[in-house]
Structure 1
Amino acid sequence: MGHVTSADELLDVLLAGGRRTERATHVRRLPAREGRRGDWPAWADGDLVRGYRALGVEAPWEHQVQAAQAAWSGRHTVLATSTGSGKSLAYWLPALTAIRDRTAAATLDPGRIESARRRAGVLYLCPTKALAADQLAALERLLTAARVRDVRVAQCDGDTSQDERRWVRDHADVVLTNPDFLHFSFLPQHERWSRLLSSLRYVVLDECHAFRGVFGAHVALVLRRLRRLAAAYGASPTFVLASATTADPAASAARLLGVEPDEVEAVTDDASPAGRKTVVLWQPPELPGYGPDSGAPWASLLPDEDPWRTPGEPEDRPRRTATAEVADLLADLVAHGGRTLAFTRSRRAAESVATTTREHVGSVDPSLRATVQAYRGGYLPEERRALERAIREGSVRALATTNALELGVDISGLDAVLIAGWPGTRVSFWQQAGRAGRAGADGLVALVAREDPLDTYLVHHPEAVLDAPVEATTFDPTNPYVLAPHLCAAAAERPVRTEELDLFGPRAAAVLDDLVAHGVLRRRTSGWYWTHAEPAARLTDLRGAGGNPVRVVENETGRVLGTVDAAAADASLHPGAVYVHQGATFVVDELHQADDVALVTRRDVDFGTWAKWLTTTDVVEVHDERRWGPVTWHLGMVDVTSQVLGFHRKHLPDLRVLGYEDLDLPPRTLRTSSVWWTAPASVLEEAAVTLEALPGALHAAEHASIGLLPLLATCDRWDLGGLSTALHPDTGEATVFVHDAHPGGAGFAERGFELGPIWLTATRDAIAACPCAAGCPACVQSPKCGNGNHPLDKAAALRLLDAVLRHAGAPSR
């Protein structure tokens, strides 16, 4: 079983010598790209250059030189190139050279005034602790190869002990951390970090395309607070940002930092070599037997009819799941020596793909079982590090993973990437695809469609995946809901002066006035002050996680197996739930919500558990109301309540239902801001939308409007939620809600209310302009629909929106 490198060989493995050819709906070959080398900059530290050469980097790529040169000259720089293009060299070369320059000056002439200045300090920020740990390991490899012992590097985050933190504050030249630690600990305790702040020369922001939506707005304000405090300590750091390929990286970087776009140098011409990449779009086969009377175990779960079928088209039949299909393909690649990542949409799917693949390869060669593992969030850090090492070194050939491996963890030399289901954005798709064929080798990427209209559309419309531009990174740091708590935090760190308001944007003065009026801040002639005993940083959570992660603990041993986010705990760690960890199954005995602990027992079971829940939206308060004739628009607060009611046990792998059990779990309520509009019976009659067509019309209009609001509200689709119903108890009419997916609201629904006619017209135009027959991801389908994009009625939605818009601006009756 030799190591497979040719993309053609890999493709032949997928196609099974022709037996699976009809499943490949499209094959695109992206040409190889020659690398273009540059020269090491004259200013680069000689030891570091020798270290890079010892690690195999004989000369840098042109984009690395361009970005490093811009950063060295003190310009804020964003490097937006492909996965595996060596972005880290572009920031470590100037940053480490700056540290060593200052060290050398002090050593050569300790008596000179400028030599007495502090060593240059560097702060590295990234979205996850895992990525920071990976960068730390890579940095230590470089310093060891360079035989450099005078640069002190440390990771510091919420897991770091107080003793270690003290050492980092007193001695570290490079501190690797995340925005959350900056917000909760570093900035509020800035006096303790004065050594680093006063000498701060570079701030590195890695994988900065992940800072989007509300999280991006929070991070942008944390960075403004950092810049403000650094200036107070006499430092003016240069920011270097590394990003996936995104639309307009200079504008996004400037918005993140709070500077003008012309102050940021964008480096986007990727000079690294790329092997030929073969991209395959793949649709799993139809299942044998069909219909309620076919005897198939899944037949009772099928809808009576397919709402997507255009009259005259052949009826769609149910297809094999993407998870089962990917497990087959992964097993074949592993058996042929290929090193592969399989990206899945959920933790459950990652475990399922790994388990099924192990069974497949074990029947061919039992020694291959151990070469297939799962990798996902919720594993303990040491477990994840071990898996990353194993795939790098080759003792593991395949990892079934969630998007936990999408961000920069350094795993190269992979032959193939399988993607089980559309990951939601083209930025994510290309990030995942970039893991295949790194370092100039050939690579294969296969996007395997889930049984979902969105995925089905994409694998039959390759241009929507492969030819459309990547999305821009959207976030709004002037959003008052996000700005207010950060102004409080800034005032607590150091009173906010009038001359600093420009840093926080045009809305800062009004928000400060509001905070003073509500007694949150105190205004004095010298500025705005925080005068409360409690920490201001606690007013906001950057990620809106909504609670502590729940630890999964084995009953007999007390061993912590992993963690699950609070929001997902009720559905995945309820009593009786099956929890899978590296193929081993555990059954949950108890969920202690007050202590954030779930107790589990190891048991071999042949079933999985699927929670059933109910979500309702209740109007709490109406803040504003506008009437368009018979149509009414509202803005206000709503309670979005979700409650897990029970769970099904389903036999694996055929998903035959074995039983249902009720649960008694408390409801969880999100109080948030929402915009909603109602259409009475007269408008439905005018639109010729029957009661039968109404749910699909409202649902399609809801999806399309959620898809369009980010264009007007500078948010992300994932920052929004929605509900549509033919008869809502609070309004008594057909109603469409679009709400902020963040506690208390984040300003997006309010923006939708202000721009109602523009927003709804754009929604209507997007649906009308789309050439599809029955609805697609470009108009009415959603990548995050909880109902599997069902029911949707594109034509009825268009008639309904036309009727509603005819009343826009009409006098109220």
Structure 2
Amino acid sequence: MVFNLLLTWALLKALNRLTGIRWWEQTMSYRICPRCSGFVEVRHLGKHFKVICSQCGASYQTQPGEVNDQIAAYFRFMDVMEGGEPSQKAKVKPKAPQRREPPSGYTPPRSKEEWERQIKHAGVPSLKALPKVVQRILADPAHYLVKYQQFPDTTPDPGCEIDNAPFDDQLKVALKRQGLTHLFQFQEDAVQQILAGKDVVVSAPTATGKTEAFAIPIIQQILERQVGWGPLRAAEKRRVQAIFIYPTKALARDQSGKLAILASSVGLDVAVLDGDTPKSERAAIFRQPPDILITNPDMLHIHLIRPRDPIRRLVRTAQHVVLDELHVYVGAFGANVHFLLRRLQRICPRLQLIGASATVANAQEFAELLFGRSVTSIYCDTGKKGVIHFLMLYPERISQSTMIASVARELVRHDLKTLVFANTHKNAEVINLIARQTQLKSA
């Protein structure tokens, strides 16, 4: 028994000489060092904790009773690194947390009266008029409130009600069932121009309803041309009547769900054809073509250059082509798409071209160059946004990373979807680690 213990101790000492690690110490490894992003190891040495970066050599040793566990020791190491970088060779002597000074010439508002003065200056009558989550963030003594500003909600100009729109009765019922009771003015203008057969480019901010602006009138025209309804149509009458082109497969798959719900409510079919489409689904598309085909430029280019490719026969009945995310088609990619559209126009003689984008500048000129045709521009400069609360905070008793994680935790606690941006990948990893250690689900 004694011999076995002595042998084990000798082996551990030998490993210590070879690796420099005391294997009998309790250790815990992290992946983040604030300086070099290397591995950081936390060792428990009786009453002390020692934090060491295996890559750059930065280290810190706690005093007895300073922290209670390895996680707290790691956070103390992070605070010391942010307050003043430790030596790469020598141990870092612990120092008391230093109060962060605000910018020169600035008096931080700490009292409730000063907060209210800033908030009233922003147009808010009182603190109670703010959402609870904003009140809790403002009341946190761990940071200063430097600036508060409120941006009012905005919405595009209203258009006609769905009941007064030039749509089929079944389409009106389907739209109202999905909660769409009226159109915005730019949507109404787009509907009128598309129903008139014009080539159109729709330019509107994100999340304002661009998809509905071109999808609804196209569905309306398909309904006007079809003989029967949905499954009552004869099989020989089924054909691709509209092609929706998205620059990437991921975006096409993302938008296909919304389009499928809208089209299926009036008996129309939607299918996605790209490189990820299984062979069985491709065969079903060729056997029974959908009314609306969703694809990407690369897929069309590969198959349209082949004279006897089945996709040429599939798309030759199309009468509408939609290019979403129009701003992507620039440079060599844009030139290739331009010639792709010219090939489509030779295959499909009666083709209406429609473009949409949220960010393209001078949309009409851009679309005319891409399409090779004159187009009608539909423009909306007002997005659909809720009230925005802008808070500029400055940490007082904690590090900046800890403050960001604390604010994010408060937002999540109030069931708000939260997105955190950081200046560097390293800072993002640190914030994510702190959030996870405080039981906040983050990625």
Asked if TM exceeds 0.5, the reply is yes
1:159 and 2:159 aligned: no
Question: Superposed, which structure 2 residues align to 1:395-794 within 5 Å?
Answer: none
**Cα 1:42/1:127, change in 2 over 3 Å:** same
SS at match of 1:193: helix
Question: Superposed, which structure 2 residues align to 1:262-341 within 5 Å?
Answer: 263-269=374-380, 274-280=385-391, 282=392, 285=395, 320=400, 325-341=403-419
Q: Give the structure with the higher percent helix.
A: 2
Structure 1 residue 249: deviation in Å?
1.9
Please give the TM-score of this superposition, normalised by the length of structure 2: 0.59
Structure 1 residue 134: deviation in Å?
2.0
**Cα 1:210/1:320, change in 2 over 3 Å:** farther
1:50 equivalent in structure 2? 173
Distance 1:52 1:205 in 2: 23
Match of 2:371 among 236, 241, 257: 257
1:172 equivalent in structure 2? 290
Deviations 1:305-354 (A, max 9, x none): xxxxxxxxxxxxxx845xx6543321111123323333567888767655
Distance 2:152 2:243 in 1: 37
1:479 equivalent in structure 2? none
Distance 1:99 1:218 in 2: 34
Structure 1 residue 92: deviation in Å?
1.2
**Cα 1:93/1:27, change in 2 over 3 Å:** same
Match of 1:36 among 120, 133, 158: 158
1:236 and 2:341 aligned: no
RMSD: 3.6
Distance 1:189 1:373 in 2: 51
**Cα 1:283/1:17, change in 2 over 3 Å:** closer
For the 8 Å contact 1:13–1:333, the answer to whether it is kept is no
Deviations 1:414-448 (A, max 9, x none): xxxxxxxxxxxxxxxxxxxxxxxxxxxxxxxxxxx
Deviations 1:488-516 (A, max 9, x none): xxxxxxxxxxxxxxxxxxxxxxxxxxxxx
Distance 2:428 2:170 in 1: 43
Distance 2:136 2:313 in 1: 57
For the 8 Å contact 1:206–1:243, the answer to whether it is kept is yes
Question: Superposed, which structure 2 residues align to 1:383-394 within 5 Å?
Answer: none
2:33 equivalent in structure 1? none
Structure 1 residue 57: deviation in Å?
0.7
SS at match of 1:230: helix
For the 8 Å contact 2:205–2:382, the answer to whether it is kept is no
Distance 1:278 1:165 in 2: 49
- The higher relative CO (CA closer than 8 Å, separation ≥ 6) is in 2
Structure 1 residue 85: deviation in Å?
0.9
Deviations 1:770-807 (A, max 9, x none): xxxxxxxxxxxxxxxxxxxxxxxxxxxxxxxxxxxxxx
**Cα 1:142/1:105, change in 2 over 3 Å:** closer
Match of 2:245 among 122, 125, 136: 125
Question: Superposed, which structure 2 residues align to 1:7-22 within 5 Å?
Answer: 8-17=131-140, 19-22=142-145
1:27 equivalent in structure 2? 149
For the 8 Å contact 1:169–1:196, the answer to whether it is kept is yes
Deviations 1:447-468 (A, max 9, x none): xxxxxxxxxxxxxxxxxxxxxx
Question: Superposed, which structure 2 residues align to 1:372-391 within 5 Å?
Answer: 372-374=441-443
Match of 1:138 among 258, 261, 267: 258
Structure 1 residue 93: deviation in Å?
0.8
For the 8 Å contact 2:219–2:263, the answer to whether it is kept is no
Please give the TM-score of this superposition, normalised by the length of structure 1: 0.34
Q: Give the structure with the higher percent strand.
A: 1
Distance 2:390 2:308 in 1: 49
Structure 1 residue 56: deviation in Å?
0.7
**Cα 1:192/1:270, change in 2 over 3 Å:** same
Distance 2:308 2:152 in 1: 49
For the 8 Å contact 2:241–2:320, the answer to whether it is kept is yes
For the 8 Å contact 1:33–1:276, the answer to whether it is kept is no
1:203 equivalent in structure 2? 321
For the 8 Å contact 1:201–1:238, the answer to whether it is kept is yes
Deviations 1:256-301 (A, max 9, x none): 3233xxx222222357754332344x4764898xxxxxxxxxxxxx
**Cα 1:209/1:326, change in 2 over 3 Å:** farther
For the 8 Å contact 2:327–2:357, the answer to whether it is kept is yes
For the 8 Å contact 1:197–1:235, the answer to whether it is kept is no
SS at match of 1:84: coil
For the 8 Å contact 1:36–1:62, the answer to whether it is kept is yes
1:184 and 2:319 aligned: no
Distance 1:39 1:190 in 2: 47
| Equivalent AA in structure 2 for residue 80 of structure 1 | S
| Equivalent AA in structure 1 for residue 281 of structure 2 | E
Question: Superposed, which structure 2 residues align to 1:60-139 within 5 Å?
Answer: 60-104=183-227, 119=239, 121-139=241-259
Structure 1 residue 186: deviation in Å?
4.9
- Structure 1 portions without partners, runs of 5+: 1-5, 289-318, 363-368, 375-813
**Cα 1:230/1:179, change in 2 over 3 Å:** closer
SS at match of 1:267: strand
Structure 1 residue 157: deviation in Å?
1.4
For the 8 Å contact 1:136–1:155, the answer to whether it is kept is yes
Distance 2:212 2:350 in 1: 22
Question: Superposed, which structure 2 residues align to 1:789-800 within 5 Å?
Answer: none
SS at match of 1:82: coil
**Cα 1:158/1:119, change in 2 over 3 Å:** closer
1:357 and 2:425 aligned: no
Structure 1 residue 69: deviation in Å?
1.7
Distance 2:322 2:139 in 1: 46
| Equivalent AA in structure 1 for residue 179 of structure 2 | G
SS at match of 2:271: strand
SS at match of 1:342: coil
For the 8 Å contact 1:61–1:272, the answer to whether it is kept is no
| Equivalent AA in structure 2 for residue 60 of structure 1 | L
For the 8 Å contact 2:161–2:181, the answer to whether it is kept is no
Distance 1:68 1:161 in 2: 35
Structure 1 residue 60: deviation in Å?
1.7
Distance 1:341 1:102 in 2: 45
Distance 2:134 2:346 in 1: 58
Structure 1 residue 77: deviation in Å?
1.8
Structure 1 residue 190: deviation in Å?
7.0
For the 8 Å contact 2:286–2:314, the answer to whether it is kept is yes
SS at match of 2:320: strand
Structure 1 residue 244: deviation in Å?
1.3
% identity of equivalent residues:
26
Distance 2:142 2:426 in 1: 29
Distance 1:346 1:174 in 2: 43
1:342 equivalent in structure 2? 420
Which structure would you say has the larger Rg? Answer: 2
**Cα 1:118/1:221, change in 2 over 3 Å:** farther
- Structure 2 portions without partners, runs of 5+: 1-128
